[in-house]
Amino acid sequence: MTVLSKLVEKTESGFSPIPVIDISDPESKHALVKACEDFGFFKVINHGVSSELVSVLEHEAVEFFSLPASEKTQVAGYPFGYGNREIGRNGDVGWVEYLLMNANLDFGSHPFLPGLLQNQEIFRNALLEYTTSVRKMTCDVLDLMTDGLGIKPRNTLSKLVSDKNTDSIFRLNHYPPCPLINKNTNDGNNVIGFGEHTDPQIISVLRSNNTSGLQINLADGSWISVPSDPSSFFFNVSDSLQVLTNGRFKSVKHRVLANSRKSRVSMIYFAGPSLTQRIAPLTCLIDNEDESLYEEFTWSEYKKSANNSRLSDNRLQAFERKAVAISLNDS
């Protein structure tokens, strides 16, 4: 199979435009760059993450979400812990419950794992092994990106998310079957599981069970559904990577629609840099400072700004260079 042929795949309903990247092939670096430029989103195959490990963690996630609400709410908290319906603190809601964790914590001492599950040790170990494997895969993908962009050294991007002090997050989402979709009072409209948004980190890695619902927003403003594939991983460019590439890569807006019959469980690894890491367009991708579209900021500054925003807000707008913004408005 050639690299070009990997840009589309056949589904039951026809051809999907979602780029498919075989990261075992070094030549996929060109298709990877194109996917980040055109979509900000792609599917990864031949990733090397154990399917058995994924199955164990998904099983444990289902076990957790099957617990009575009274038990799950014992570990509710902000920013980490259990949440239901409310997404953040700024009024966003969805047909979702979730468990949010710091991916860099020592899971053996994590405050809300012990006592909730019969197999706490299995869950803890699966979680640690999974995040370790996914982080390695993420670094491999970022190294392919730098190869495709012609950036040296090769770990320019991957080193931002591989340090022990990186601020990465792991999230388990559960979207229960939604009876509202079948109600006449809903007029047949979609029910939002998770509202439209971009991710603020560098890159996000998602894997879900065999239930559809994820959609991405294309450049023309239309939404397309992402065919479910529990054996693969989906990557989306996030805000900080858009800044690092000076807008060449697009931070993709995405959302999840609720399903009337099937439960959807997804696992998302948000690869973020350390809190003190400075984020600005890479100098090797611009000829001079005047071409920079964004002001420099630290990840801590951007994270705080993102946490104070609504899901659908354009978070990067506040960090655009004013001269550039004025020029765009005048044109």
Active site members = 264
CA angle 81, 48, 9 (to 5 degrees): 95
- CA 234 – CA 16 distance, rounded (Å): 14
Length of the chain: 331
C-alpha distances out from residue 303 to 90, 295, 315, Å: 15, 15, 10
Yes or no: say if 213 and 257 are a contact pair by the CB < 8 Å rule.
yes
Longest Cα separation, the chain: 62
Are 94 and 87 within 8 A, CB to CB?
yes
CA 3 to chain centre: 24
What is the three-state SS of 61-102? HHHHHCCCHHHHHHHECCCCEEEEEEECCCCEEEEEEEEEEE
Rounded to 5°, the CA angle 262-266-272 comes to 160
